[in-house]
Amino acid sequence: MPAVTLVEKHESVKLRAKTDLRQATRSGSTAEDNAPRMTFKDYNLTRKVARGDIEAFSQLVREHSGLVYRVAARILGDSDAQDATQEVWIRVWRNVKSFRGESAFSTWLYKITVNTCLSAYRRKQSREARETGEDLAHLPVPPSIEDDPVAATVAGERREELLRALERVRPEHRAALVLRHMEGLSYVEVAQVLEVPEGTAKGWVNRGRAALLVALSAERGSA
């Protein structure tokens, strides 16, 4: 291919990258600036819940259940997300006294949700000995355009493929990927939620992205 064509193609990729990423990934340097802060309302509610106020707990559950269910569904899949959501809220009820409001309530809730999901996943894995991303570390060849998982299928199928492929990524990497690219958290927040250093969080997201691309190729290959 002539160099000029390559450059043009490259420029178009860059242009699309800017557009797509602005619309879709919500990642980048501004994420830190948008880090969530503890709201007065959440602080009040959590203090009331700590004193055993059911009404306040009910309000907290109704306001934040979407976040819990969403993350659980993306880490565990739809079928296990409901059970995990219930478990998360029971944990919140039991442990809210230990929440001192040093981070945003949502950050604390993400942490409990991810921990609950990873525990649930491990329990399930020990029962089923399911396939994880372990094999992906030995990638024979990078996926080529022929294997391109996102080139030829319709949107709904692609979505299902992507979610199935996500299930094949190692759980910690999957959680990091979900928090970064689906929930739009900064690396500082991802690290806080996963309770790892920021460099580790970045590594997990990097590895998760690569593993997901490979898993997508495999999904497409097996379809």
Nearest-angstrom CA–CA distance, 112 and 67 = 12
- Amino acid sitting at position 220: R
Judged by CB under 8 A, the residue of 42, 193, 212, 219 near other proteins is 212
Q: State yes or no: residue 199 binds other proteins (CB under 8 A).
A: no
Angle, CA 200 vertex, CA 198 and CA 203 arms, to 5°: 115
Q: Is 59 buried (19+), middle (13-18) or exposed (0-12) by CB count in 10 A?
A: middle
Q: How many residues of this chain bind other proteins (CB under 8 A)? A: 66
- Amino acid sitting at position 81: A
Site string for other proteins, 48-77 (x = CB under 8 A): ----x-x--xx--xx--xx-xxx--xx---
Between 6 and 122, name the residue whose CB sits nearer to other proteins: 6
Q: Is 50 buried (19+), middle (13-18) or exposed (0-12) by CB count in 10 A?
A: middle
Contact present, 74 and 182 (Cβ < 8 Å): yes
- Amino acid sitting at position 15: L
Nearest-angstrom CA–CA distance, 138 and 201 = 21
Between 36 and 184, name the residue whose CB sits nearer to other proteins: 184
Judged by CB under 8 A, the residue of 9, 41, 97, 122 near other proteins is 9
Find the part of the chain contacting other proteins (CB under 8 A) among 83-91, 114-122, 123-131, 193-201.
Answer: 83-91
* Residues in contact with other proteins by the rule CB under 8 A: 1, 3, 6-7, 9-10, 13, 16-17, 20-21, 23-28, 52, 54, 57-58, 61-62, 65-66, 68-70, 73-74, 82, 85-86, 89-90, 93-94, 137, 139, 141-145, 148-151, 158-159, 162-163, 177, 181-184, 202, 206-207, 209-210, 212-214, 216
